[in-house]
């Protein structure tokens, strides 16, 4: 990884795991750019981070279901933050986790895949020229592609399996083509956030614990090209 300026863009950084990571990466010396959908929520996050002494370079409007907006965001980032070296694809939606696979609605499949896979892939594609120029890295926050017996909401796991395939394919191509870019995926494990109705059961962790561990991983100085790294496993919820 480059030792130039350490500037990171985290999508969905206004709350949840993205915010926890922004906090701990920021405390470890990274300069942070917040990706958010809404100015008010972005500014609230910026206030909280700066009050901790973290250097926040600014925020960028990122709505993963709006491809024109994503292209515009990538252009804005290249112009305003040409030193960016790290993109964390964290933003995501759960889809309907209350329904079994057989009864999943097509609308839910479309929406969840549109945000978690298509939007994430399109934004990544738009960011690759800048990140390549800076010998950068892309980290995806995801869940395993293997189906867990404990928990398997179809729209969500399908969208994340597609995102995991994106990571594997791009990692292979970067290696084969000598592209100076690293991409890997991390499963944070069950984390108490809005995504799961702030569930807090044995085996769940809070955003500070997960943010600190993710930050440690990003700062470990190792090359993780193509890896799927599990911070904590999926657990049986009962």
Ligand X SMILES: NC(=O)c1ccc[n+]([C@@H]2O[C@H](COP(=O)([O-])OP(=O)(O)OC[C@H]3O[C@@H](n4cnc5c(N)ncnc54)[C@H](OP(=O)(O)O)[C@@H]3O)[C@@H](O)[C@H]2O)c1
List contacts with ligand X (CB under 6 A): 12, 14-18, 37-38, 41, 62-65, 90-93, 115, 141, 143, 187-188, 190-191, 193-196
| Shortest spacing between CB 91 and ligand X, in angstroms | 3
| Shortest spacing between CB 231 and ligand X, in angstroms | 9
C-alpha gyration radius of the chain: 17
Distance, CA of 110 to CA of 108 (rounded, Å): 5
| Shortest spacing between CB 29 and ligand X, in angstroms | 23
Q: How many CB atoms lie within 10 A of CB 231?
A: 17
Those residues whose C-beta lies under 8 Å from the C-beta of residue 195, and which sit 6 or more positions away, are 16, 92, 93, 94
| Shortest spacing between CB 215 and ligand X, in angstroms | 15
Nearer to ligand X, 17 or 161 (CB): 17
Distance, CA of 13 to CA of 23 (rounded, Å): 9
Nearer to ligand X, 26 or 92 (CB): 92
Nearer to ligand X, 13 or 134 (CB): 13
Q: What are the residues facing 191 on neighbouring strands?
A: 205
Q: Which residue is nearest to ligand X (CB)?
A: 16
């Amino acid at each position: 990884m480059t030792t130039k300026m350490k500037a990171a863009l985290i999508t969905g950084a206004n709350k949840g795991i993205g915010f926890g990571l922004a906090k701990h990466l920021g405390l470890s010396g990274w300069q942070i750019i917040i990706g958010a959908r809404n100015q008010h929520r972005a500014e609230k996050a910026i206030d909280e981070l700066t009050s901790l002494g973290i250097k926040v370079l600014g925020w960028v409007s990122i709505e993963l279901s709006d491809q024109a907006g994503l292209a515009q965001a990538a252009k804005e980032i290249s112009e305003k933050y040409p030193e960016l070296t790290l993109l964390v694809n964290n933003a995501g939606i759960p889809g309907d986790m209350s329904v079994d696979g057989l009864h999943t609605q097509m609308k839910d499949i479309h929406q969840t895949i549109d945000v978690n896979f298509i939007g994430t892939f399109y934004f990544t594609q738009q960011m690759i020229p800048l990140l390549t120029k800076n010998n950068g890295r892309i980290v995806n926050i995801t869940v395993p592609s293997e189906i867990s017996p404990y928990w398997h909401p179809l729209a969500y796991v399908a969208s994340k399996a597609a995102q995991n395939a994106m990571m594997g394919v791009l990692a292979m191509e970067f290696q084969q083509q000598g592209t100076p870019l690293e991409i890997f995926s991390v499963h944070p494990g069950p984390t108490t956030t809005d995504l799961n109705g702030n569930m807090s059961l044995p085996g769940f962790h809070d955003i500070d614990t997960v943010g600190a561990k993710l930050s440690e991983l990003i700062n470990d100085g190792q090359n993780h090209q193509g890896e799927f790294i599990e911070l904590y496993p999926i657990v049986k919820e009962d």
